[in-house]
Chain A
């Protein structure tokens, strides 16, 4: 699973997720991708589950790019803990996603329908509403 090797601050604030993605909102590498339609936190487990779902469907017959990285640590206080005693310890890592962010890209699949199906399986693993997008090029 993806996680930072080292971070400057172990317990970051939760922050706000207003607005749309100002960068990382276009296809940069592949022919198609998954674009977020709403904001949210995508955990490293969800990213990995989505990656596995699509690579298994295409039987490693295409190149997949993961365009988000879980930089943010989410802390949790243990169950049945009394109030106080400070902030909990980091539990998992999340990527902050805003509407428009491209989460995954894919290229080189033998069949367009297969590519779409693989992306669809990955979409089920994600906690936010997403859409499948293709590169905007016209065949001549």
Chain B
């Protein structure tokens, strides 16, 4: 997976007043932490981060580059606080350091593939889970994982254990979690 480079800089202040000023000046307050490194308060360019969130998957690897940021700061996005209504307004971001030698826990978008047989019979295919938690080496993390629903009939369910994962990638989400099901079409009274 390619790394997205984000402009960042070390954050000198904290608190409501400072973070509000930073947001108004086009920076999103963030924290960069992880195993084996000292946590750093940073702020990332709001425009670049907005583009990252709108164009790429949220499990994208991010490299923070800028003044006061440790070199080789490669991270995954652990948490994003955003405005519930104005979705493009970000309050705070957590970046967790992604070490080459350690496995990374992240989420991947789950995509249903194949033409569902239950839908052809008139059922409604419902995806109950849109992303699954996975773990693996940083260079093997997929952007999307898939599950085949071709043989799913009305009343049938697909579990997380049927999700196709790449090499060295393991599933953290319970394998018994229902990810898709086909509901029978209700009859008119």
Contacts and interface: CB of A to CB of B under 8 A. Distances in A.
Real complex partners, A and B?
yes
Interface string B84-106: 11010000000000000000000
B130 A100 contact: no
The bracket for how many chain A residues form the interface is 20 to 34
B84 A140 contact: no
A131 B83 CA distance: 15
Contacts of A68: none
A52 to B, nearest CB: 14
A20 B85 contact: yes
Interface of A: 20-21, 25-26, 29, 31, 35, 37, 60-63, 99-100, 107-108, 131, 133, 135-138, 140
B117 interface: no
B51 to A, nearest CB: 12
Contact of A140 (B109, B124, B188): B109
Contact of B130 (A20, A60, A61, A135): A135
B84 A25 contact: yes
Given A60-B186, A99-B85, 20 more contacts: A26-B84, A29-B128, A35-B84, A35-B85, A60-B185, A60-B188, A61-B124, A61-B185, A99-B84, A107-B127, A108-B124, A108-B126, A131-B85, A135-B130, A136-B53, A136-B87, A137-B109, A137-B131, A140-B57, A140-B111
